[in-house]
Structure 1
Amino acid sequence: MLFGLVATAPAVGLAAVAVTRPKPLAAPGWALSPRRLRSGHIGDYVAWLPVGAGLLGALALPGILTS
């Protein structure tokens, strides 16, 4: 139980800071261009799902082939 409280306290604190003062936790400049690729429409999720799955598959392929 103590571990749960110790793990929850920083999470609640960080969430409180993010809600009350979002500017210090804003995305850095280099992260803004990838964020522009996502508009929030369902088509974006449909398009990026195979891209992410393909990337994960490509990263896992060397480990699969050497086993």
Structure 2
Amino acid sequence: MRWMSGYVLMAIWSGYLFVEKYIPYKMMAGTNGQWIVYYIVKLLLFVVIGVFTAPFTCLWAVFRVIKAFR
């Protein structure tokens, strides 16, 4: 169960990197309720996309470390 919590954290980070690269927009105006809903939906989007992109992010990080030490 511990590795799943680590994978979810990595998925959030990986999803954040992917989403912010292609959807870099932030909500500029609105009521307090709209801000909360916007950022909760965006966090869920991070997790959903991150579940699929996390393995590639991990492999890319390992590749860069190996390349740096050569």
TM range (shorter): 0.3 to 0.5
Higher relative contact order (CA 8 A, sep 6+): 2
- Structure showing greater Rg: 1
